[in-house]
Structure 1
Amino acid sequence: MSIRSVESTRLRRTHLPERAPLIGMSVRDADLSLRLNGTGHGLLDTTHFDTVRFAPPAWALPTFATAAGDGEQAYTAYRGNGGVRAICAASISTLMGIDVDPERNLAMTTGTQGGLFATLSALVDHGDVVALADPEYLFVERMLRFLGAEVVRVPMVDSPDGPQLDLDALETVSRNGIRLLLTSNPNNPTGAVFTAATIAGLARLAVRDDFLVVVDQLYCRLVYDNAVFTHLAAEPGMAERTVTMLGGSKTESLSGYRVGAVVAGAAVIDAIEQMMAMSCLRAPAYAQHVMTRWLVDDHEFVADRVLELQAIQKTTVEALRSVPGLRVEPGAGTAYLWPDVSALGISDVEVARVLQDEAGVVVSPGYQFGPSGIGRFRICYAREEISWNAALDRMTTALTAVAEAGR
């Protein structure tokens, strides 16, 4: 007797079976075939930052320990400790150039990932049309499919300033009515930073066509060469229309503390709080206190980190460009590269498998980030330099062999 699948229909939607014509299988099956379950399996895993080489600031652990030593801190308000929110709201107001009320406009969340899921769960109904940048962070479309949204992809277009959101394509979509647009800036996976003109154009469309924008700004301080970063929420008419995801998980290596921040209008924060109360009960009790030092005591720390990462980016780009047919352009932000291997004649699934088997390196295959990612892969170069250079040698050797075999 067969047993009915234990997975709910909504969970099976997150497998993205509609991607099969492009990659030969569902996204879930492709992930399983590459053993992409977050463990790394003893290989060098470039799907995330190296928090040993790039450790958190010295103040992170003592601040956490002090909070953890006070049992009164164990049960915080659902949206976060009032004192923590007061400090963070002042810092975020300075960062973004808007007035953030700690009681009305801010929630401390279980990481940016938890904040994103709580936000989408609070705002998106089954059947809602949601515009999503292509490419975009791998788990966003899966969340939207879980919620039953109709996802419409908005492509990026090349420009002298790197890939930018295609505002003409967005306008076509938004005229027909969308619930919200979701994007990241700087963009994950391309590393692109949206120009002031792109942000202004996006704001005009959101106001004109009356839709919300959820923008993941996790990497907004990790930009190179003094690139100008424009905060969407500070644009005219956007303070109440923008939901901004922030945190120190990457720039300050606070990933393991699982704490982030969501900035939005009062009604959105109220809705997010209700989702948090059901899913995780409350903000991370002890870890949220680390955020009182974020944006306050880390300016020199972040400046040094940006210089270090840019140096590794340069080395990585030079190495990858030695592979015949491989194309890669450095992004203006993040610590990711988005190489194009389509000229090598094999799929991004096969490239990921070659790099695992021949180079001992785990990468994020491009199909995870959307249809435009086919033929690409993402790597995080925030690694210890000596072992990373050795890994680059193995990767370029393996990919060069693929390229030469295809000639």
Structure 2
Amino acid sequence: MAATRDTVESRRVLRTHLPERADTLGMSVREADLGLRLDGAGHGLLDTTHFDTVRFPPPPWALTAFTAAASDGELAYTGYRGNAAVRATCARSVSGLLGVDVDPDREIIITTGTQGGLFATLSALVDAGDVVALADPEYLFVERMLRFLGARVVRVGMVEHPAGPQLDLAALETAARAGVKLVLTSNPNNPTGTVYTPETVRGLAALAVRHDFLVVVDELYCRLVYDDVPFTHLAAEPGMGERTVTLLGGSKTESLSGYRVGVAIGPAPVVDAIEQVMAISCLRAPAYSQHVLTHWLVDDVEFVRARVTELAALRELSARRLRRVGGLVVRPGAGTAYLWPDVSALGLDDVRVARVLQERAGVVVSPGYQFGPSGHGRFRVCYAREETGWAAALDRMVDALGDAAVTS
């Protein structure tokens, strides 16, 4: 007898489908993803859910460092928290970045990319029934991870600000008074691209100290910031050294995604707990890949400066072209390589937009529902693409959206 879905998938996996979102989406998030074939494969279309790593390849030293490590079989196995020499180098460079002293033996762990680091961190800290406050919108897989772990998720929205939407600290304080164990956000925010102002970061820190909760902050894009906008690291704020877990890596700014390495920095007891999760789930981050981190934040300063300049030009091109669609609102953020257009005035929902762009423009985008309830009527597009082909794709997108808006 063939097994049914309910008997194949555990209840914890079924929770990650976010079935309650059917009230607004008309189906679960998982069903919407399946209908749009959003499985990371691209299926022959131009896939803007991630960076174009052909146009924006890793620095030359990445392959050199990996190859040198892979030629030495002695480096195949490391401690669960990563190669000691690599951690020592990373601790020095990360200390300079964050403005805090990072102990290489106790406060840093090499993870299986930032995604793996995020899951290991949440698994180490969150029990079933714990209340976790999550920014809305926020990176698409975070709520699914939290639901897998059985957490109770409270969404905290954004408020408008001249510098771009900011975390609603008043709403967060209300949630904190009711009791939260953990707050999670990204800065710069994925998907909006907004960079939190120093005032927002200080306010978040003050709330964490006052209500004694932990904060996990994904700072993957902290070096991909435009127009000399100041970036404030939460871990360096007073009282936050013992309350912050910072996730970092080179997967986006330096295009190191294929190497699957990142780092988590936090208080020693938290890093110890993350190490236990790493040990039982994957043993360690890819051992040879770990060695690319000896150059990350060290030998890539000019590389990153040039990349930010190139991406800034693409940001301008993308926003300018998409604004040709009457009613479509595009407000570029000060960080990341994403735009977060609002199509609600076109009479199109985000599922319809994603389908139209696939079928009529040959382009895969990330529909807004993936990032939280506030994402309805929006989509995320990554503009880190080869310029000529991307310009043509933008023209196809403009035509497709314009036609769909007329016929909706």
What is the TM-score with the length of structure 2 in the denominator? 0.99
The letter for the 1-side match of 2:190 is N
**Deviation readout 1:261-307 (Å, 9 max, x if unpaired):** 00000000000000000000112200010000000000000000000
1:324/1:403 contact within 8 Å kept: no
Letter of the 2:363 counterpart: V
- Which residue type is aligned with residue 368 of structure 1? Q
| Native 8 Å contact 2:356 2:400 kept in 1 | yes
Q: Does residue 1:393 correspond to 2:364, yes or no? A: no
Shift of 1:21: 1.2
Partner of 1:106: 108
User: What is residue 35 of structure 1 aligned with on the other side?
Assistant: 37
| Aligned residue number for residue 215 of structure 1 | 217
- Deviation track 1:104-142 (CA, whole Å, cap 9, x = no partner) reads 100000000000000000000000000000000000000
Confirm or deny that 1:256 pairs with 2:258: yes
Tell whether the 8 Å contact from 2:260 to 2:285 is kept in structure 1 after alignment.
no
1:160-175 correspondence to structure 2 within 5 Å: 160-175=162-177
Cα shift at 1:23: 1.0
Aligned residues with identical type, % of pairs: 73
**1:131 is paired with a residue of what secondary structure?**
strand
Single out whichever of 396-405 and 221-230 deviates more from structure 2: 396-405
Distance in 2 (CA, whole Å) between partners of 1:320 and 1:3 is: 46
Indicate which of 76, 80, 83 corresponds to 2:82.
Answer: 80
Query: Equivalents in 2 of 1:124, 1:245: separation in Å?
Result: 16
The counterpart of 1:268, out of the listed 263, 267, 270, is 270
Give me the whole-angstrom Cα distance separating, in 2, the residues matched to 1:3 and 1:114.
Answer: 30
* Structure 2 CA distance for aligned equivalents of residues 105 and 2 of structure 1: 48
1:79 Cα deviation after fit: 0.2
TM alignment of 1:122-271, pairs within 5 A: 122-271=124-273
Query: Which of residues 349, 352, 355 is equivalent to 1:353?
Result: 355
Give the residue type in structure 1 aligned to 2:189: N
In structure 1, the residue matched to 2:343 is 341
For 2:301, the aligned partner's letter is H
Q: Distance in 2 between matches of 1:283 and 1:318?
A: 41
Do the aligned partners of 1:338 and 1:376 also contact (CA within 8 Å) in 2?
A: yes
Could you tell me which amino acid in structure 2 is paired with residue 105 of structure 1?
E
Structure 1 stretches of at least 4 aligned residues deviating more than 4 Å after TM superposition: none
Structure 1 residue identity aligned to 2:390? W
- Is 1:362 paired with 2:355? no
CA distance in 1, matches of 2:140, 2:405: 27
CA distance in 2, matches of 1:21, 1:340: 21
> Which amino acid in the other structure matches residue 64 of structure 1?
F
1:378 counterpart residue number = 380
The residue number in structure 2 matching 1:65 is 67
d(CA) in 1 for partners of 2:280, 2:228: 41
Contact 2:222 2:231 in 1 (8 A): yes
Contact 1:323 1:403 in 2 (8 A): no
Distance in 2 of aligned mates of 1:247 and 1:217: 8
Instruction: Give, in whole Å, the separation in 2 of the partners of 1:282 and 1:299.
Output: 28
Alignment RMSD (CA, Å) = 0.7
C-alpha distance in 2 between matches for 1:3 and 1:42 = 32
Q: Deviations over 1:67-100 (max 9, x none)?
A: 0110010001100000000000000000000000
For residue 314 of structure 1, what is the aligned residue in structure 2? 316
Q: How many residues align?
A: 406
> In the alignment, residue 27 of structure 1 is paired with which amino acid?
V
- Give per-residue Cα distances to partners, 1:169-208, cap 9 Å, x unaligned: 0000001110100000000000000000000000000000
Pairing 1:328–2:330 present: yes
Q: Which amino acid aligns with 1:164?
A: Q
Cα distance in 2 between the residues matched to 1:329 and 1:129:
32
Residue ranges of structure 2 left out of the alignment (5+ in a row): none
Contact (CA 8 Å) 1:309, 1:335: kept in 2 or not?
A: yes
Deviation string for 1:222-251 (max 9, x for gaps)? 000111000000000000100000000000
Q: C-alpha distance in 2, partners of 1:115/1:380?
A: 22
Instruction: Tell me, in whole angstroms, the C-alpha distance in 1 between the residues paired with 2:339 and 2:260.
Output: 24
The amino acid of 2:271's aligned partner reads I
1:157 Cα offset (Å): 0.8
Q: Which one-letter code corresponds to 1:45 in the other structure?
A: D
Deviation at 1:22, TM superposition (A): 1.1
Give the deviation of 1:405 after TM superposition.
2.5
Structure 1: segments with no counterpart, 5+ residues: none
Q: Answer whether contact 1:320 1:326 (CA < 8 A) is retained.
A: yes
After superposition, give the CA deviation of every residue in 1:325-366 in whole Å (9 maximum; x if it has no partner): 100101100000000001111210011000000000000000
Look up the equivalent residue of 1:276 and give its one-letter code.
Answer: M
**Aligned residues of 1:352 and 1:365 also touching (Cα < 8 A):** yes
Residue identity opposite 1:367 in structure 2: Y
Aligned to 2:306: 304
Structure-1-length-normalised TM-score: 0.99
Note the C-alpha offset of 1:2: 6.5
Q: Is the 8 A contact 2:348 2:405 kept in 1?
A: no
Partners of 1:226 and 1:69 in 2: how far apart? Answer: 41
